[in-house]
Amino acid sequence: MKFARFAAAIAVLCLASQATAQVRPQPVPIDDFARVPNIQSVSMSAEGDLIVAVIAAPGSNNEETALATWNLNNLQAGPVVTPSGDRMHFIAAAAIKAGRILALGRQEWTGRLGGCGEGRSTGAEQTFVTKAYLTDARHSRFDEAFARNARALGVSEDTQRCFEIAGTASIAANLPLDPDSVIIRQLNQNSLRSDYYRYNLRTNDASLLFREAGASAALINPRDGEVLVRESVESIGGDYEIQVQIRNAQTGQYEVHPALTRTLAARYTQSFAGIDEATGQYYVITDRFSDKAAVYFYDPRTRQFSSEPVVANPNYDIIGITLGSSPSNFNQLLGFTYAGPDYATYWLDPDIRSVQEGLNASFRDRTVTLIDFNADLSTVLFETSSGAHPPTYYLLRNRRDATLLGQSRPWINSANLRRPELVHYQARDGMNIPGILTLPNGWRREDGPLPTVILPHGGPWARDTTGWDESGWPQFLASRGYAVLQPQYRGSEGWGRALWLAGDAEWGQKMQDDKDDGAAWLVSQGIAAQDRIAIFGYSYGGFAAIAATVRPNSPYQCAIAGAGVAALTRVGNSWSQDRLQRIYQGRTVTGMDPMHNTERANIPILLIHGDRDVRVPLFHSQDFYNGVRNRVAARLVVIPDMPHSLPWYPRHYRTMLTEIENYLRNDCGPGGL
């Protein structure tokens, strides 16, 4: 029986974790979340001969990262390792093909951006710059990715400077049937238009394919790099219309398809995921016809969608499909990914599904994700994780022998953690709100209600899952005895069109009601103690914590705002560098502005902000602190050299988590939470 030996070997681990399910919560040390993971960002090359990852640099005590590459033809030799430099730090990596590796590095940078990248266009800016580098299996040299020849093909000096600062090259198409080349996209930060090149990974030669001029590439043929679908944006009577142009296979001309046209105001999800070469029909992921996004065929000849979806899930959005990349199954539909409680892929291909099901049987207490695999499935790279299990990476050979590549955080004892669960509750207006609930391990209702933290996600066009949270916040708090609810408030993506659109222009209003109603639901369920509830969030979640501070009749004893928006009017007017993004999303960023209501502050607040945050600049926290500090107990902590987005340095985590822990224990309401 397939996987019999492997399943038996793993069963002991599964039973051991189940046997300790009643252990009382043990606070996970701050350092367990702060340290650099042992291994992350793991991938396998297209040929199945290399594995690449970012690891903790040897000798750094998990304070710094390194790039690691394993040769699968000589796995026992161990990886080639290159530590991060003094300035540029590895944050992600990917094995491509032709023996080439893409490594992403980031460093602090202070200077004049002049419109090149996120941040102020005038004056000096404290920020981070991120660049992509190409290297080989031996890490013999690191060259800025796709830059040398591509830049020489007719770009100005100003554009070259933007490329140097912003590092905007990315792979647009892998061309899996071409052993040497990929299609790269080079974004011009000044014009926000892109140039596309065919790039030879062995010779570094680049040839310009096309430049965006009024229309952008919506789908590139993975067989030959030809642009199959383009999109253009046209102004129409106060709104904007996205027109879709499909290349006519007979004439070579691009033709507008009205059936695919949509307005920005309508905000339908619509993306081209591939083409079925046998029929010439396109796979389109859209929510035009139902609340949940599904995959439909679009026939360019009849100019009609299929009457029924090709792939759908009645409860969750479809967010992607997997098409074959080997000659034997090229462009065939192998599986689809849906936005369930934890993102999951269902494999339509019977051989891949057999592998998935065998691994699922071996790791019953966690989610198994197939990261990469070769054509005959003789080599499979996979990850196991759950909301209580940090990611662990394995290599499966010949469908039976598994080799442990590494555990991201082996120092965390998952037996002391409880897996999050998906819950639902009703908002005051009757809307169904999903939520992710993480409870202290071993807690039972008969033990009595718990101190509770409401933890809204950022975005707000984002969502949470029941999987491992890279911030560490849910388990950090739950292991300290708090119930943690992550409300998927209106405006959250991935839970259907109705919930997503319901958040428009409701910042601090109905979006905020959803969080307060989640707290009330926890009280009604006997989970939360009514007089021991706090709200903590980061980015948009920080806005929610700031808004809670000035709303009347707050259910919270205190608020903690990380990198929170306070001046809503200023953010809405400058939501994005991209003019269309400002129209698309910026006009939804309205509601109750906390900076206009500071005199209503009624609960204490802790504000935490990085001084290199250009997405939500520091003035938001500084101005709000100054506006409320004479009305409520307020504290502002500025963390040096911290950007807005993950990954952060270990010292950033230590400062933040220490402040959160101490504030909840000592300063959240009378006597602490």
Tokens read off for 382:
């996979």
Task: Name the pairing type of β-strands 558-562 and 379-386.
Answer: unpaired
Mean pLDDT (whole number) for 410-431 = 97
Torsion angle, alpha carbons of 487, 488, 492, 498, to 10: -130
| Confidence category of residue 111, pLDDT binned at 50, 70, 90 | confident
Mean pLDDT of 270-283: 96
Per-residue pLDDT tens for 573-626? 555 555 555 566 667 888 999 999 999 999 999 999 999 999 999 999 999 999
Dist CA 422 CA 79 (whole Å): 39
pLDDT of amino acid 2: 36
Confidence of residue 211 (pLDDT cuts 50, 70, 90): confident
pLDDT at 424: 98
Strand 389-397 versus strand 193-200 pairing type? unpaired
Query: pLDDT tens digits, residue range 168-205?
Result: 678 999 999 999 999 998 876 556 578 899 999 999 99
Q: pLDDT at position 265, please?
A: 84
With 50 as the cut, is the pLDDT of residue 61 above it?
yes
pLDDT value at residue 340 = 94
Q: Residue 436: is its pLDDT beyond 70?
A: yes
CA–CA dist 446, 443 (Å, integer) = 8
Q: Where are the beta strands (DSSP E) in 57-168?
A: 65-71, 80-83, 89-95, 100-112, 124-136, 143-144
For residue 494 the two structure tokens come to 């991935």
What is the helix (H) or strand (E) element at residue 558, kind and residue range? strand 558-562
190 vs 193: CA distance, rounded Å: 8
One-letter amino acid identity for 401? Answer: D
Q: Which of 66, 60, 62, 98 is nearest to 79 (CA)?
A: 66
For the whole model, what pTM was predicted?
A: 0.92
CB 294 within 8 A of CB 315: no
- Label residue 99 exposed, middle or buried (CB < 10 Å: 0-12, 13-18, 19+): middle
**414-426: average pLDDT:** 97
Q: Which two tokens stand for residue 551?
A: 């709303």
Q: Give the chain's mean pLDDT.
A: 90
